[in-house]
Each structure stands twice: as structure tokens, then as C-alpha cells.
Structure 1
Amino acid sequence: MHHDRFGLALSADTEATAAAVSDFAFEVLSHGQRAAAILPLAEAEPGAPLPQALAAALYLFLQTAEGVQRARPWLVRAQAAARHANERERLLLAALEAWADGRPALALQRHLELARQWPRDLLNAKLAQVHQLNLGERAGMLALSSATLRAAPEVGQAWGLHAFALEQNGALADALLIGERAVALDRHDPWAQHAVAHVHEARGDAAAGIAWLEALAPTWERCSSFMLTHQWWHLALFHLARGDAAAALALWDARVWGVRKTYVQDQVNAVSLLARIEALGLDGGARWHDLAAHVRPRIHDRLNAFLDLHFAYALARAGDEAALTELLSGLAQHAARADTPAWRELAWPAARGVVAYAQQRWQEARRELQPLMARLHLLGGSTAQQRWFGQMLNAPRPRAEAA
């Protein structure tokens, strides 16, 4: 019997398959660029259920309707081979199927059941934390990361997952201690680095945040586009905290936008950072037209309200009225029929507020957003990302043309 890097039994027939599964877990946990290496293995071994499931997960991470459609054939192949899977692998497959079906709460429930039985499965813990973040399940995130760390204290990435969960729950001193320990165990763990950056941002310590991230920046080149741009996004936020919009804009141009313009998480980084830069008085200008062109294909997806709010903002700032109207109409229809009240009670009024802010209707934006602030995290996004919406309660500085 083969085992993965965490000692968990695999249904893999060969050492090469086991190694590929372990490599995939490492790439996801470390936000690396090589997770797609699972695809040729899954193609070559259609009877191996876990590689098929992981190939599906790769496409689900795209968080687009297109990604879901590309995941489905892999899920079908995984289900066909499921008789060869062990119980842990079948539970993971069930969680991925729920994700593809647009039922993230059910997916999370299945990930948590898997975690209860196999707490050393760090890939599962990472997937669960993604759903917890998207669902605003901050207390659950802390409970899961605590159990994962107890089960795998020798793994640096377990410390990184826990550091982030601590910060999301406001335990800043503990998050700093755990995050720094995680980086001491593995200097190249971007999630742990990022958790410490969150602590400095939450404390308003821009100098410490800049020093921390600049010292670690050489380690980011192996990261996927999201984590690469997101680390620079955090560094830009620290410059904004010091009132230096020009430095933040320089990072936007050189580091935050342009790595993978079609990826929704890169788009989210770019939209919110450019909006924050404008709030300090610099006009983003034609940059909004480029952003709008890349978010426009996503206006019908309805997979994640947090993403939709960013798309709406970019379209409004670019003056793309046709696409904006289409997005808002689709969002209103989805909110009216959605099973979960968050779309109706939070996403739809938040979208109206975000668009009002983008169109300089400050009082209307405040009127829409103020009643939502205590629960807006239920739409997803980290504490640092959510602070952008809080900033919309105040009118920005008058804009000056940027270079």
C-alpha cells in the first residue's frame, strides 16, 4: 500500500501515482505553479480515482462557470473509478461534487467529516478553509485549523493554516506568534507569510508590514499568480496606510495586475487595490477599461457574491453600462430565487451600494452598505479584503490624474 506525504493511505497502484498526488497537495498548500502536473497523470491513469478527483479540483479552483464545466468530466471519471478508492478518497470526491453542484455548505460539511476522521489530511484542511473563508465561517475555521495543527505539528503548513485562522478571528498576538513560527519552519510558505502580513495590517503597523514582506519577496517567484499578486497587494496596502498612493499605484502596474488577467482572484486583487488608490486621490484612468474587459466574461457566473461585487465595481468605474446592467439584472434574479438568504439580504443591496460608490453617489452608497457591515463577511473575503467595503462608508479624496 502506498501513502502520501502525510502518511495517509492511498489507493494508488504505483509509486509514481502516489508521488504525483503528494506533489499536488504540496503545490496547493504552498500556492505553487505546478499543480497542473496532476493532469497528464490523471489522463494516463483513468482507473485511478484520486488523480481524477484532484484534476477536477484544479478546475474548481478557477471559481468560474467554465471551470465547473471543465471539472465535470474529471468528476465523472473519478466516480467511475470510485470502487477502487478508499473511504477517505470517496469522501473527498463527494465534497468536490458538492462544490461543482454549487453547494459549498454541503462541500464544507463533507470536508469537515473527512477532517474529523483523518485530521492529518492537510490538503483537505486547505480545501475546507477555502470554503470557510468564502462562507464567512471564521469560528469554524479556527476549530478546524486547531485540530489540524494538533494532528500534524511537524508540518509547517499546518502552522500557517492556523495562523491565518487566528487572525481572521481577531487573535492577533497568537496569530503573529504562530505565523512567525510557521515561517521559521518553512520560509517559503506564502500562506504563513500572508497571515503575519494580515496581523500587521490589522494592527495598523505599516512599517512592520513593509519590512516583513519586502524581506520575503524573493520567495514569491514560485507562487501561483493569485498568491504572487496577493502578496504584492498586501505590500501596496501598507503603502496606502502611509498615505503613499503613488507607491501603491506603481506596485499595481508592475506587480498586481498583468500576471494572469483571466483569473478571478487576480482580478479581485486589482479591482480593490485600484479602488483604494483612487480613494487617496489618484485616478486609475484607462486601467479600469482593461479590468472591465477581463471581468466582463464572468458577469453571468453567479458562483460567488464576493467576486460579483468586485466585477460590478470595475464595470461601473469603466462606464460599461451594458455589462453592468446585465450583471445587476442577473444578480437580482439570482437573489430572488437563491436557497441561501445571503444573496437576497446581503449580496443584492451590497451590489447596489458598491455601484453607487463607484459612481460617486456617496450618500446612497453609505445608506446601502452601512446596515450590512456586521454580516458582509458572510459573502466571503478575508478581514483585509472586507475592510474595503467599510472604507466605502466615507467619501474619497478628489481624484487627480495618475501617470
Structure 2
Amino acid sequence: MTRFDSRGLPLSTASDLAAGRYREGIDLLLSAWPGAAEVLDEAIAADPDFALAHAARARLHAIRTEVAKAKARMAAAEEIVARRGTERERSHVAILSLAVNGQSAKALERALAHTETWPRDVLILSLPLGAFGLFAFSGMADHDQARVDLCERHARHFDADDWWFLTYRGWAHAENGNVAHGRALTQRGYDLRTNNANAAHALSHALYEAGAHEDAERLIESWLPGYDRSGVLHGHIAWHSALGALERGDPERALAIYADHIQPSVTAGMPVNVVSDTASFLWRLKAYGHTVPAGLWEQAAAYSAGYFQKAGFAFADVHMALIAAATGDKAAVEERVKALMGLVEAGALPAGPVVPAVCRAALAFAEEDYAVCARILEPVAAEVVRIGGSGAQREMIEDMLLLALMRGGEAAKAGQLLDRRLHRRPSPRDTRWHGLLAA
């Protein structure tokens, strides 16, 4: 008897228990919900020769930056699938292996080809999508549009009530500027499965892009208590709420959220989220004219010392440079910039020269050399999208340019940038800044 996954694709296992646990584990993984590791372990215990369960477990290890464990589990999946896997399963495992082993460009190429044949293989389709997906970290300038195109190409293969596809299709549209449509799709996905951190996250992004900051805060305030702190997105979703408080000019509330949910000592988030969320929150707090309590930057630096020391991961590079600049470690910023420039010259940095430029600008901003900061950022502003992440995350760099222009005596340029931002997305903070310029 053939057993199937949650989207109707056949599985090479003779165990009903293993198949059932695999279906549950994949849905937990795709919803960033606690328990996926334990459930997938049960699938493996029920059938130790179930290659896809091993591969999914490797994916979870990779998400947690548990590299050695991910590679070991992936090797087991590859050995098993070679002797008892279908064509789809061999391709599935090969793509996850490329991703786990850091071959992102090849993984993206293979994933796109795979989904043309098996579009409902959702774990593979998920890889190019999301703020930290293969498209986002590809260095492409048009990765937002690429996500939309991928979702629309395969939309006909999914049911109207597929909560996972609705979530990612909606997020793709909202990030690409079609905010109303994206919000409606994401809301539908969220309503179908509220125990889904990716849906809560995507909906908070859609609300942010729509300028509905208070709605986003209310959503997170009501939803977050039901999401266990062990969930990988717990701290990051709280980060969105903290940004909302800063938008309203309430640093005390923002700092309380940071202390309770975001700082390294309290979060179980993915390292890339912990580094970027702490760096960007503390940077915003200071840049917006508030006091960063003593020790917070140093705590962020101590945590980040264990990750992303090697240059080349653009999104992490920018945030590591922010932390180094904020803590006065000029040598660390310069060393990272030198390494990044070497990668650029070798054609080995997909995001290109914008990455070292942003790192240099962060150092100039920290040293209050605003004219230099603006001079560095202006020529590359349109290329910042190449570092990946979401629009909300990258907005910090646009804020850096805007504040550098305002503080460096370039009021006219700052006003033009503010006008464009207010047209794109209403913001209480931008309204306040516009008033300051007008005065």
C-alpha cells in the first residue's frame, strides 16, 4: 500500500506511523511551530530507512545553524535514498543536501527545476520563498518579483484553502508592493491555521507595509502568548511589535518588549534573526534619538562573536558591521570590508559592492560623519535590496541615509526621500521627521 505526504505525493515507507509523523512534522516545520524535531524523530524511529524524514530533520538542524548535525543527517538521507528512493525523492534529497552544504545557487537552480515537475513538493518549493529563502539571499535585485512569479506559476496546483501556500503567496505579493492583495491572501492563510508562526509573521509584515502599525501590534499582542518561547520566530515576531512602539514614539514600551522577548539571553531564535534583530533594534533606538541602556550593545556583540565571523553572507555582514561600529570596533568593520571587497573583486559575492558600502556607511554613521555616510549610501541605495531579508529589515538602511542627509545639511534631498516614503507607506515617524524638516 502506497503512503502519501500531506499534498498527495507518494512516500517510500512501509510504516503508517512513519508517514503520519512525517506529514505532521512537515506541517510543523512549515509553520515554524515547536515540536517538529520530536515528531520527525518519531517518524525516523518508526522507519529508520525513511530518507525524507532524515532530510527534513537535517533541514531543521540547518535552520538552527547546527551545521555538523545537519550534514550528518543529510548524509544518512543520501545513503538511504540512493538504494530505496523514487526519482522525486532522490531529487528532493539532493536539493536539500545542496542547501545544507552551502551551495545555495545550485540549490536554487535545482529547486526551481524540481518544482516544475513536482510543484506540490512543498518543502522544496518553500526553499526559494520567504525573507531568508534562496531567492532573498541570491544577491538578485528583483528577488521580490521572482517570489511572486514562482508562486503565481504554481498557484493552479494548490487548493484554495492550502494554508501554507496562501501564507507564502500573500507574503510574496505584500513584499513586492501589492500590499492589499498580499494582506488578503495572508489573512486567509492565517485564519485557516493560526498555530502558524509564518502566517503571523507574514501578516504582521503586510500590516506594516500597509501602514497599519497599531493593527500589527494588536495582532502580535493577542497571538504571541500562544506561541511557545522555544519557537524560532518568537523573538522576531516580538521585534515587529517593538518596531511598532518605536513608530509611535514609545521607547519605554519598545525596550520592555526587547528585554522580555528579543535580547540574546531570552530568545531561542535562529542566530541570523538574533543578530539582525538585536543590531537593527538597538541601532534604530539610538538613531531615533533615544538612549540605549548600558550593556545592551555589548550583549549583542558577545552573542554575535559566535556567528558569521567569515565575510560573505551579505545580510549577516551588514548587521555584524552595525554591531562592531556601534561598539567602537572600527578594526572589525574595516577587516570585514576588506574581506568583502576581495570577494567582490573575485566575483564571489552575489550581492556585490553594495555590501561593503553599507558596512562602511554604518561606521561613518556611528562616528557621526554624516556627510560621508550619505556620500557612500546614495549611489547604492537602489541596490540595498540585494542583501536580502524583508522590506521592514532593509528600511533601517534607508533610515540611515535619510538621517545622514538630515543631519549632514542636505534638507532638500532628505525631504524628497521622505515624500517618496510617505507616498509608499504612511508612517508616524516619517510624518514627524517631515514636520521637523518643514520647520
TM-score w.r.t. the length of structure 2 is: 0.82
Q: 2:386 aligns with which of 368, 378, 381?
A: 378
Match in the other structure for 1:401: none
Residues 1:88 and 2:94 aligned together? no
Change over 3 Å in CA distance of 1:33–1:189 after alignment to 2: closer
Note the C-alpha offset of 1:361.
2.5
Letter aligned with residue 146 of structure 1: E
Contact 2:224 2:234 in 1 (8 A): no
Change over 3 Å in CA distance of 1:142–1:231 after alignment to 2: same
Q: 1:265 aligns with which of 265, 273, 277?
A: 273
Q: 1:183 aligns with which of 176, 187, 190?
A: 190
SS at match of 1:24: helix
- Which stretch of the first structure deviates more once superposed, 362-371 or 166-175? 362-371
Superposition pairs for residues 206-221 of structure 1, below 5 Å?
A: 206-221=213-228
Match in the other structure for 2:344: 335
Match in the other structure for 1:168: 175
Letter aligned with residue 348 of structure 2: D
Note the C-alpha offset of 1:150.
2.9
Superposition pairs for residues 360-379 of structure 1, below 5 Å?
A: 360-379=368-387
Distance (whole Å) between structure 2 residues aligned to residue 224 and residue 35 of structure 1:
10
Q: 1:254 aligns with which of 256, 260, 266?
A: 260
Residues 1:300 and 2:309 aligned together? yes
Match in the other structure for 1:387: 395
Distance (whole Å) between structure 1 residues aligned to residue 45 and residue 365 of structure 2:
47
Note the C-alpha offset of 1:134.
2.2
Distance (whole Å) between structure 1 residues aligned to residue 300 and residue 181 of structure 2:
37
RMSD of equivalent CA atoms: 2.5
TM-score w.r.t. the length of structure 1 is: 0.89
Residues 1:133 and 2:136 aligned together? yes
Q: What is the CA deviation profile of residues 363-398 of structure 1, one whole-angstrom value per residue up to 9, with x for unaligned ones?
A: 222222222221211221111111111000133899
Distance (whole Å) between structure 2 residues aligned to residue 77 and residue 302 of structure 1:
30
Residues 1:204 and 2:206 aligned together? no
What percentage of aligned pairs have identical amino acids?
A: 26
Match in the other structure for 1:105: 105
Match in the other structure for 2:361: 353
Count of matched residue pairs? 393
Match in the other structure for 1:150: 156
SS at match of 1:28: helix
Note the C-alpha offset of 1:232.
0.9
SS at match of 1:392: helix
Q: Larger radius of gyration, structure 1 or 2?
A: 2
Q: What is the CA deviation profile of residues 248-303 of structure 1, one whole-angstrom value per residue up to 9, with x for unaligned ones?
A: 11111111122137722122112111111112222223100010011112243345
Note the C-alpha offset of 1:360.
2.6
Match in the other structure for 2:415: none
Residues 1:3 and 2:12 aligned together? no
Match in the other structure for 1:26: 27
Change over 3 Å in CA distance of 1:116–1:222 after alignment to 2: farther
Q: What is the CA deviation profile of residues 330-382 of structure 1, one whole-angstrom value per residue up to 9, with x for unaligned ones?
A: 33333333434524x22122221122223332222222222222121122111
Match in the other structure for 1:79: 78
- Which stretch of the first structure deviates more once superposed, 197-206 or 307-316? 197-206
Residues 1:237 and 2:243 aligned together? yes
Change over 3 Å in CA distance of 1:74–1:301 after alignment to 2: farther
Distance (whole Å) between structure 1 residues aligned to residue 252 and residue 174 of structure 2:
29
Contact 2:242 2:254 in 1 (8 A): yes
Letter aligned with residue 253 of structure 1: A
Contact 1:125 1:148 in 2 (8 A): no
Contact 2:167 2:198 in 1 (8 A): yes
- Which stretch of the first structure deviates more once superposed, 273-282 or 44-53? 44-53
Letter aligned with residue 24 of structure 1: G
Contact 2:324 2:330 in 1 (8 A): yes
- Which stretch of the first structure deviates more once superposed, 164-173 or 91-100? 91-100
Q: What is the CA deviation profile of residues 24-56 of structure 1, one whole-angstrom value per residue up to 9, with x for unaligned ones?
A: 311221111223223575478553322232232
Change over 3 Å in CA distance of 1:168–1:251 after alignment to 2: same
Note the C-alpha offset of 1:326.
4.4
Distance (whole Å) between structure 1 residues aligned to residue 311 and residue 100 of structure 2:
13
Unpaired runs of at least 5, structure 2: 408-439
Unpaired runs of at least 5, structure 1: 399-403
Q: What is the CA deviation profile of residues 168-204 of structure 1, one whole-angstrom value per residue up to 9, with x for unaligned ones?
A: 1100110121122112212222222222222221232
- Which stretch of the first structure deviates more once superposed, 369-378 or 261-270? 261-270
Letter aligned with residue 80 of structure 1: E
Distance (whole Å) between structure 1 residues aligned to residue 105 and residue 367 of structure 2:
34
Q: What is the CA deviation profile of residues 85-130 of structure 1, one whole-angstrom value per residue up to 9, with x for unaligned ones?
A: 1222211222223223433222112112222222222222222212
Distance (whole Å) between structure 1 residues aligned to residue 270 and residue 218 of structure 2:
31
SS at match of 2:321: helix
- Which stretch of the first structure deviates more once superposed, 114-123 or 171-180? 114-123
Distance (whole Å) between structure 2 residues aligned to residue 113 and residue 262 of structure 1:
28
Note the C-alpha offset of 1:210.
2.1
Note the C-alpha offset of 1:19.
2.4
SS at match of 1:128: coil
Distance (whole Å) between structure 2 residues aligned to residue 357 and residue 2 of structure 1:
58
Contact 2:364 2:372 in 1 (8 A): yes
